[in-house]
Amino acid sequence: MAKYILTTLLILCLSSFLLAETNAKLTKLEIVDSEECIFIGKSIIIGNGNNEAGALWGKCWEDGTFETLEKQKGKLLDGVYSDLTYGVKEDGTFTYMVGMFMKKGALVPKGFTSYKIPVGKMVKACIYGEEAQIHSNAETIINTELKEKGYKADNFMAKVYTCEGFATPKSEGKTLVTIDFCCGVTKSD
């Protein structure tokens, strides 16, 4: 009997942990026409045990990636540091980039890579909450909302770390931030 009670309690605790609601909340989602632009930065392949995303950010801070891109003043799209993922393969690997959105015609410096943002429909979304919760739940939150609107994510997803929503709250020691997202979308079948 004690074993049954202990097992039941364990199941109840585990269930409430797994069903715990995330504090990451969608505060904005709009579907817009994307302009022709390019994402330029440094890239790596993620997956199959390789998750060096944090190390890539560190490398970009250390090697002047952002300063190099910012020199193309007339070609900066928004001037915000971002990351972008695309090209998910059957084995689960994908390309992960850290860089900035640039206007059409921006030069790709030596040692950098680029991804052309296709013209078409794009979702712009904002998610507010604890950073780890946002990263863990963003794809599900955005895809759920897109499905309700008759769309599905397609081809790329970017996280945009604005000063107002992300950098300033972090520098002030706040644990709740906003991360902006954008991704290509197509109508659901």
Question: In the chain, which ranges are continuous DSSP H helix?
Answer: 2-18, 53-63, 65-70, 131-148, 168-171
CB atoms within 10 A of CB 56: 20
* Residue 79: its H or E element: strand 76-86
pLDDT of residue 21: 59
Please report the sign of the dihedral spanned by the C-alpha atoms of residue 144, residue 28, residue 80, residue 36.
Answer: positive
Q: pLDDT in tens for each of the 189 residues of the chain?
A: 433 333 333 333 333 333 345 699 999 999 999 888 999 999 999 988 878 899 999 999 999 999 999 999 899 998 899 999 999 888 989 999 999 999 999 999 999 999 999 899 999 999 999 999 999 999 999 999 999 999 999 889 999 999 999 999 999 999 999 999 999 999 987
Upper half-sphere CA count for residue 13 (Cβ side, 13 Å): 6
Beta bridge partners of 23: none
Spans of all domains in the chain:
21-36+119-189, 41-117
Residue type at 117 in one-letter notation: I
